[in-house]
């Protein structure tokens, strides 16, 4: 595979293209959580080692992951990787990506977000009083969209600053309380109306449907 220039800024449309493959999205999500080797990733993904290693190389060449450690396993060297953090995609970069790549990237990201949300909900992730889940529908003009984007970016920056402060407090008092991971998902999009969709076919029997649930 030819070496390419690593992604170093938020204006690079190759990031969106890289995230158009669902396996790469899952690999990045897993390497956000922990350091792992392609062999470990392949086991979690249910994919072949060759396929997983290929996508790991793509992500590494784009600078989205980096080598964290090397270990010897049965005479061979096993490489372990970690995420380097995801760059924020700019409006310019997003505009330069094909519609197909955009749809694939969004679809892959939404799928992994859904998996995280469903797994977290099942394990009590929304039980904390500080948890939040809402959907807000607003009408905006062009200026409003620009202001909404700026507000979102500021919110993401605030989330990161809150984490830095929390890490500093925990470093000073490592045994004061058990740390826990929080997941924050922020999405702005031009919404479709569910009522504009064609009506779904009715179930053949409401009694049978009730029995299934």
pLDDT one-digit tens code per residue, 16-39? 777 778 899 889 889 988 999 999
Which 8-state DSSP code applies to residue 195?
G
**From CA 162, how far away is CA 104, in angstroms rounded?**
32
Model confidence band, residue 2 (pLDDT cutoffs 50, 70, 90):
very low
Which 8-state DSSP code applies to residue 176?
S
**From CA 63, how far away is CA 169, in angstroms rounded?**
30
Tell me, what's the pLDDT at 93? Answer: 76
Question: 61 and 4 in contact (C-beta within 8 Å)?
Answer: yes
Question: 109 and 22 in contact (C-beta within 8 Å)?
Answer: no
Long-range contacts of 84-93 (CB under 8 A, 24+ apart): 86/15, 86/28, 87/7, 87/9, 87/10, 87/12, 87/15, 88/10, 88/153, 88/156, 89/10, 89/15, 89/16, 90/10, 90/11, 91/149, 92/11, 93/10, 93/11, 93/12, 93/13, 93/15, 93/16
Length of the chain: 213
pTM: 0.68
Domain boundaries, the chain: 7-110, 132-187
Tell me, what's the pLDDT at 103? Answer: 87
Asked if CATH classification 1.10.3720.10 holds for the domain at 7-110, the reply, yes or no, is: no
What is the tens place of the pLDDT at every residue in 146-203? 999 999 989 989 999 999 999 999 999 988 888 888 999 998 898 888 668 777 665 5
Tell me, what's the pLDDT at 76? Answer: 82
What is the tens place of the pLDDT at every residue in 87-142? 677 777 778 878 888 888 888 888 889 988 999 999 999 999 999 999 999 999 99
**From CA 140, how far away is CA 158, in angstroms rounded?**
24
73: three-class secondary structure by DSSP: strand
Tell me, what's the pLDDT at 210? Answer: 37
Exposure letters 137-155 (e unless 16+ CB within 10 A, then b) = eeeeeeeeeeeeeeeeeee
**From CA 74, how far away is CA 60, in angstroms rounded?**
25
Residue 208 scores a pLDDT above 60: no
What is the tens place of the pLDDT at every residue in 65-81? 999 998 887 778 899 99
Tell me, what's the pLDDT at 6? Answer: 44
Tell me, what's the pLDDT at 182? Answer: 92
Tell me, what's the pLDDT at 211? Answer: 39
**From CA 36, how far away is CA 18, in angstroms rounded?**
20
Tell me, what's the pLDDT at 143? Answer: 97
């Amino acid at each position: 595979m030819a070496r390419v220039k690593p992604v170093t800024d938020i204006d690079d449309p190759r990031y969106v293209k890289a995230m158009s493959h669902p396996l790469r999205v899952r690999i990045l999500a897993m390497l956000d959580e922990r350091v792992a080797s392609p062999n470990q990733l392949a086991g979690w993904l249910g994919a072949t080692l060759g396929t997983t290693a290929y996508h790991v190389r793509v992500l590494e060449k784009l600078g989205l992951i980096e080598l964290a450690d090397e270990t010897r396993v049965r005479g061979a060297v096993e490489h372990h990787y970690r995420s380097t953090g995801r760059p924020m995609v700019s409006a310019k970069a997003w505009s330069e990506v094909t519609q197909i790549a955009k749809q694939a990237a969004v679809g892959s990201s939404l799928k992994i977000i859904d998996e995280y949300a469903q797994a977290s909900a099942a394990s009590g992730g929304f039980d904390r009083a500080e948890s939040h889940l809402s959907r807000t529908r607003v009408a905006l003009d062009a200026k409003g969209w620009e202001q909404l984007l700026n507000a979102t970016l500021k919110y993401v920056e605030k989330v990161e600053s809150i984490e830095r402060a929390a890490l500093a407090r925990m470093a000073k008092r490592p045994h004061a309380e058990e740390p826990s991971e929080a997941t924050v998902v922020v999405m702005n999009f031009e919404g479709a109306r569910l009522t504009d969709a064609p009506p779904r076919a009715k179930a053949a029997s409401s009694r049978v449907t009730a029995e299934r649930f």
